[in-house]
């Protein structure tokens, strides 16, 4: 009979999709996001990865600080590298870091939130103390310390973002778990002999998953911005050409003073667009998950 359940699940997915499709902000966000995902996936087709190497760039005879008119499509930087290649390959790093850090954030946040909310008592008190502790310690110093201790590579950046941004997710999930836990259907499951694992899997999770998904979509832009900030402060992975790193190099090497807008604008607009796209998608999903925001009337 699981086929019935599957059928209904599929129906649910298509209902959510239908609702999503009818939202303009959601569809705009999705379209923008798809463009960037396509760019990231098709990077090898769009730009030669060797263009990122200053030695190769010099050998190619690229100009220094060449504006788009001199070196299309997006000009070159202070060491003759193609800005277009940096933009294309940078989208990969930025999106990857954003998504991976979000997965980590949501994973830690959900597990902590669900355990704290569901188990309650002392476990809850301890976990919430830890969560608060993470919330109040200033993020940047911690990130700086962690990044310098762990070394500067992409995985460490992901780890740093994940470890510092889960507390708000944990608090949100915990609050939702607390209300779901009080519902009578949890008592019904207990009467049927259900243990904690069953209740979490069949009753708690399905009733908080919408919130978690919406929260995740809203966490991606934060992760991307965080990665940008870290890179901008020179704490990024020196070998990975993320948008944040492009901005940092542009800034450090005086692109502003030279009025070399073509150097920093693409990365900046890229970040803005992706952040906006995720926010629009997240908002739409949130409205669908929480019918009180959208339905009736």
Residues found near other proteins in the complex (CB under 8 A): 1, 4-5, 7-8, 11, 179, 182-185, 187-194, 198, 202-203, 206-207, 295-297
Minimum gap (Å) between residue 239 Cβ and other proteins: 45
Is the CB of 152 or the CB of 202 nearer to other proteins? 202
Give the distance, in angstroms, between the CA of residue 125 and the centroid of all CA atoms in the same chain: 29
Minimum gap (Å) between residue 194 Cβ and other proteins: 5
Minimum gap (Å) between residue 136 Cβ and other proteins: 24
Distance in angstroms between the alpha carbons of the first and the last residue of the chain: 37
Is the CB of 152 or the CB of 190 nearer to other proteins? 190
Residue partners of 107: CB distance under 8 A and separation at least 6: 162
Minimum gap (Å) between residue 27 Cβ and other proteins: 19
Give the distance, in angstroms, between the CA of residue 55 and the centroid of all CA atoms in the same chain: 33
Identify each DSSP E strand in 128-193 by its residue range: none
Is the CB of 46 or the CB of 194 nearer to other proteins? 194
Cα–Cα distance, 14 to 31 (Å, whole number): 18
Distances (CA, A) of 10 to 164, 207, 288: 36, 17, 16
Minimum gap (Å) between residue 175 Cβ and other proteins: 9
Minimum gap (Å) between residue 1 Cβ and other proteins: 5
Residues in the chain: 297
The secondary structure element, H or E, covering residue 273 is helix 261-289
Is the CB of 37 or the CB of 175 nearer to other proteins? 175
Is the CB of 93 or the CB of 289 nearer to other proteins? 289
Is the CB of 5 or the CB of 136 nearer to other proteins? 5
Which structure tokens are listed for 226?
Answer: 């965080």
The secondary structure element, H or E, covering residue 52 is none
Distances (CA, A) of 189 to 114, 185, 196, 201: 17, 6, 10, 12
Distances (CA, A) of 265 to 250, 261, 270: 10, 6, 8
* Dihedral class, residue 246 (left if φ above 0, else alpha if ψ from -120 to 50, else beta): alpha
Give the distance, in angstroms, between the CA of residue 8 and the centroid of all CA atoms in the same chain: 30
Cα–Cα distance, 74 to 108 (Å, whole number): 40
Is the CB of 141 or the CB of 193 nearer to other proteins? 193
Minimum gap (Å) between residue 137 Cβ and other proteins: 28
Minimum gap (Å) between residue 171 Cβ and other proteins: 14
Is the CB of 171 or the CB of 245 nearer to other proteins? 171
């Amino acid at each position: 009979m699981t086929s019935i359940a599957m059928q209904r699940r599929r129906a649910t997915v298509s209902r959510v999709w239908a609702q999503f499709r009818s939202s303009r902000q959601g569809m705009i966000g999705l379209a923008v996001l798809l463009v960037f995902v396509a760019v990231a996936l098709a990077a090898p087709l769009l730009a030669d990865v060797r263009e990122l190497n200053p030695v190769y760039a010099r050998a190619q005879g690229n100009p220094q600080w060449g504006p788009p008119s001199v070196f299309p499509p997006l000009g070159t930087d202070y060491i003759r590298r193609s800005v277009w290649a940096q933009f294309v390959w940078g989208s990969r790093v930025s999106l990857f870091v954003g998504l991976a850090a979000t997965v980590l954030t949501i994973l830690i946040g959900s597990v902590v939130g669900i355990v704290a909310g569901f188990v309650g008592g002392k476990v809850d008190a301890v976990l919430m103390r830890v969560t608060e502790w993470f919330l109040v310690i200033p993020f940047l110093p911690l990130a700086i310390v962690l990044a310098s201790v762990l070394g500067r590579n992409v995985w460490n950046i992901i780890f740093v973002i994940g470890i510092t941004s889960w507390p708000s997710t944990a608090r949100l999930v915990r609050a939702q778990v607390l209300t779901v836990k009080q519902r009578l259907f949890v008592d019904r499951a207990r009467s049927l002999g259900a243990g904690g694992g069953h209740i979490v899997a069949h009753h708690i999770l399905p009733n908080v998953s919408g919130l978690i998904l919406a929260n995740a979509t809203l966490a991606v832009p934060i992760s991307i911005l965080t990665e940008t900030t870290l890179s901008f402060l020179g704490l990024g992975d020196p070998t990975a050409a993320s948008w944040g790193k492009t901005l940092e190099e542009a800034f450090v090497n005086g692109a502003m003073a030279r009025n070399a807008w073509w150097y920093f604008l693409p990365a900046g607009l890229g970040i803005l667009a992706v952040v906006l796209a995720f926010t629009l998608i997240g908002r739409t999903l949130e409205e669908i998950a929480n019918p009180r925001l959208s339905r009736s009337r």
